[in-house]
Amino acid sequence: MRNEVIELAQELIAIQSESSLSNATISDFLQNWLEKHEFAVERICYADPNGVEKVNLIAKVGEGPGGLGFFSHSDTVPGNGEHWQPFSPRVEEGKLYGRGSCDMKGPLAASMIAVKSIDSSKLRRPLYIAIAADEEVGHVGAHFIQRASATFKENWPTWTVIPEPTEMVPVYAHKGGALITVTATGRAAHTSLDTGISANFLIAPFLAEMAELAKKMKSEERYKNREFDPPTNGFNLTINDGGCATNVTAAKCVANINFRLMPNDLHEELIGQIEATATRYNLAVTHRKLMPFFLPKDSQIVQAACRAVNVAAPINVPFCTEAEGYQKYTQCVIFGPGSVGQAHTVNEYVKIDQLELAVVAFQRMIVELCL
């Protein structure tokens, strides 16, 4: 088992699948592997905004209603290859290094080895593996799966494990996120002519109001949720005028506001307030959001995960996962090997003993819920 999970994770890491590239090659590999192990595989393709082919896979073994799913993604953040060898996986001192080792090709491999070990003729309920594209760029593939999967139109699993890295501690809740983009449009002109309109001056009064709002968000209790640490929403703002030269008026200035959503927070009021402020200053404004995730701690899937690793209580985390969308259809627990502190870093790694623990824990959950 040890060699199997390491070998499979290494094979996945070696197939480059940063979100900007097509994930067709790694999806071919995964589909072959799943079909070899008795899964029926649905392949959903789409073109991303740059016209690049993206592939989602939904694999099913076993029959009947309900069941258990393991939902992962096959894309990674950029490899940053100038600093290390991200696509040449290596094992050193009990750690597997490589881009995606921890987020989330190692965890995906652990779920695949766990389901492979089960005698599918004994399943009382179906098992699913879903592998989405474009998780790292806004959960695009997962949202596609939710809309378009014929497999899931027939039946969603009752329970789902999302094996994002949580060091194998079950997670029952996490924050979501909102991104609000505000654009001021001016007119570029050389300052010697003094005929320009600076987009920066147009947006400045709006920015001043956002600075006041940021203070309120940190201090007022009604914007906080004490279930989380920190209880605040991390309200942030960045500005881009395209690096305008100092002797030219800026033609365009874009402010991006980002904050984290929490269950039962005031995000709708907040987004409405920010949009109204932008409109008052004649600025263009758009927003998109990823919902927070929450499932009661005593729900069956969270408790099954706790039992699988002998953990007394589940935790919540400040980062967002695809559970934000899947929770409408299936009861999710975030539960996977490795530390999120390793995700997206140069020299990303996952500890081998975490991968092994994941295989055993996932097997236990399958036995408890589906056999």
Please give the residue ranges that form the binding site for Zn ion (CB under 5 A): 103-104, 164
Q: How many residues would you count in the chain? A: 371
Looking at the Cβ atoms of 76 and 316, the one nearer to Zn ion is 76
Looking at the Cβ atoms of 18 and 164, the one nearer to Zn ion is 164
Task: Report the distance separating Cα 255 and Cα 169, nearest Å.
Answer: 37
Residue 323 CB, shortest distance to Zn ion, in Å, is: 11
Residue 362 CB, shortest distance to Zn ion, in Å, is: 17
Looking at the Cβ atoms of 103 and 324, the one nearer to Zn ion is 103
Looking at the Cβ atoms of 255 and 323, the one nearer to Zn ion is 323
Task: Report the distance separating Cα 277 and Cα 261, nearest Å.
Answer: 20
Residue 103 CB, shortest distance to Zn ion, in Å, is: 4
Residue 258 CB, shortest distance to Zn ion, in Å, is: 18
Task: Report the distance separating Cα 361 and Cα 343, nearest Å.
Answer: 21
Looking at the Cβ atoms of 134 and 164, the one nearer to Zn ion is 164
Residue type, 197: I
Interior angle at CA 289, CA 171 and CA 159, nearest 5: 35
Residue 136 CB, shortest distance to Zn ion, in Å, is: 7
Looking at the Cβ atoms of 76 and 198, the one nearer to Zn ion is 76
Task: Report the distance separating Cα 79 and Cα 346, nearest Å.
Answer: 8
The backbone region for 341, taken as left when phi is positive above 0, alpha when psi lies in -120 to 50, beta otherwise, is alpha
- Strands (E) located in the chain: 40-47, 53-61, 68-73, 90-92, 95-97, 127-132, 159-162, 171-174, 177-185, 236-240, 252-259, 284-290, 293-294, 315-317, 331-334, 349-351
Residue 268 CB, shortest distance to Zn ion, in Å, is: 27
Task: Report the distance separating Cα 130 and Cα 125, nearest Å.
Answer: 16
